[in-house]
C-alpha cells in the first residue's frame, strides 16, 4: 500500500483520468472530491462490499 500525505486542496492523480482532492479535514475526518470517468465505478468500501454480496446472492439464486 502506498501512503501519501496531502493537505487540503492538494490532489492525488491515478493514471490519466482519476483525480482525488482533499477537500476538508475536521475532527479526524477527511472529505475527498473524486473526479473519474463515468465508466469507472467509485464507491466507499462498505457500499462496494454490499454490492458484491448482492451480486453473489443473485448468482446463487440463478
Kindly state whether residue 27 falls inside one of the protein's structural domains: yes
The torsion angles phi and psi of 9, rounded to 5 degrees, stand at: 90, -15
Number of folded domains in the chain? 1
pTM: predicted TM-score of the whole model, two decimal places = 0.80
> How far is 12 from 52, CA to CA, in rounded Å?
27
Q: Which domain holds residue 49?
A: 11-61
Model pLDDT for residues 4-46, shown as the tens digit of each residue: 999 999 999 999 999 999 999 999 999 999 999 999 999 999 9
Kindly state whether residue 38 falls inside one of the protein's structural domains: yes
Which candidate, 26, 29, 32, 28, places its Cα nearest to that of 12? 32
Kindly state whether residue 54 falls inside one of the protein's structural domains: yes
Residue 9, classified by CB atoms within 10 Å of its CB into exposed (0-12), middle (13-18) or buried (19+), is exposed
Kindly state whether residue 51 falls inside one of the protein's structural domains: yes
Kindly state whether residue 2 falls inside one of the protein's structural domains: no
Kindly state whether residue 6 falls inside one of the protein's structural domains: no
Amino acid at each position: 500500500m502506498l501512503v501519501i500525505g496531502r493537505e487540503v486542496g492538494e490532489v492525488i492523480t491515478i493514471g490519466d483520468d482519476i483525480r482525488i482532492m482533499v477537500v476538508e479535514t475536521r475532527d479526524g475526518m477527511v472529505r475527498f472530491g473524486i473526479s473519474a470517468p463515468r465508466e469507472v465505478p467509485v464507491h466507499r468500501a462498505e457500499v462496494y462490499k454490499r454490492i458484491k454480496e448482492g451480486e453473489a446472492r443473485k448468482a446463487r439464486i440463478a
